[in-house]
Chains A and B, each alone.
Chain A
Amino acid sequence: MNYFSDRWHDLLPNLGDLVVAGLTQGAIYALIALGYTLVYGVLQLINFAHSEVFLVGTYASIIVWGWIGYAAGDGNPVPALGTVILLLGAGTIAASLVSGGTAVLIERVAYAPLRRKNAPRLIFLITAIGASVAISELVGELTNRRPWGVPLLVEPKTQFVIDPGMSINPAPVTNLQIGIVLSAIVMWFLLDTFLNRSRFGLGIRAVAQNEDTAALMGVNKDRVIMLTFLLGGLAAGVAATLYNLKIGTISFNIGFLLGLKAFTAAVLGGIGNLRGALVGGLVLGLVENLGAGFFGNKWIDVVAFVILVIVLMFRPTGILGDSLGRARA
Chain B
Amino acid sequence: MRRNLVRALTGVAVAAALIGTAACAPSDKSGDNGDGKSCTYKIAMMGPITGDNAGLGKPILQAVQLAVEKHNSAHADKCVTLEQADDKGDSSVAPGLAQGLVANASVLGVVGPAFSGPTSATGSIFEGGKLPIISASATRPDLSTKGWTTFHRSLGNDASQGPAVGKFIKESLKASKVFVIDDTSDYGTGLSEESKKALGSAVVGYEQIQPKQTDFSAVVAKVKTAAPDVVFFAGYYAEGGPLAKQIKGTGIKTTFVGPDGIKDQGFITGAADAAEGSIVTCPCIPAEKATGTFAADYKARFKEDAGTYAAEAFDAANVFLDGITSGVTDRAKMLDFVNKYDKDGVSKHIKFDAHGEIAADQIVIWTYDVKGGQIIAREPIK
Q: Which residues of A contact B (CB under 8 A)?
A: 10, 13-14, 17-18, 21-22, 24-25, 72-73, 75, 105, 108-110, 112-113, 130-131, 133-138, 140-141, 145-152, 156, 169, 246-249, 251, 253-254, 256-258, 288-289, 292-293, 296-298, 300-301
Contacts and interface: CB of A to CB of B under 8 A. Distances in A.
A297 B207 contact: yes
B181 to A, nearest CB: 9
A257 B51 contact: no
A147 B209 contact: no
Given A138-B19, A247-B246, A249-B242, A149 B271 contact: yes
B21 A137 contact: yes
Nearest to B210: A298
Given A249-B271, A251-B214, A293-B222, 6 more contacts: A17-B221, A72-B269, A109-B13, A145-B52, A147-B269, A297-B210
A245 B97 CA distance: 40
Interface of B: 6, 9-10, 12-13, 16-17, 19-21, 23-24, 50-52, 54-55, 184, 207-210, 212-222, 224-225, 237-238, 241-242, 245-246, 249, 251, 265-266, 268-275, 373
A130 B208 CA distance: 32
B146 to A, nearest CB: 25
A148 B266 CA distance: 8
Give the secondary structure class of B's interface. helix
18 contacts: A14-B225, A17-B221, A21-B217, A25-B215, A75-B273, A109-B10, A112-B6, A133-B20, A140-B50, A145-B52, A146-B55, A247-B214, A249-B245, A288-B218, A292-B219, A297-B208, A297-B213, A297-B219
Given A109-B9, A134-B13, A247-B215, A21 B249 contact: no
B20 A141 contact: yes
A146 B53 CA distance: 8
Instruction: In the A-B complex, list the 4 residue pairs whose CB atoms are closest, starting with the nearest.
Output: A149-B272, A137-B20, A292-B218, A21-B217
Contacts, number: 158
Contacts of A14: 221-222, 225
A66 B123 CA distance: 46
B13 A110 contact: yes
Nearest to A157: B251
A258 B209 CA distance: 16
Contacts of B19: 137-138, 141
Contacts of A24: 217
Contacts of A109: 6, 9-10, 12-13
Contacts of B220: 21
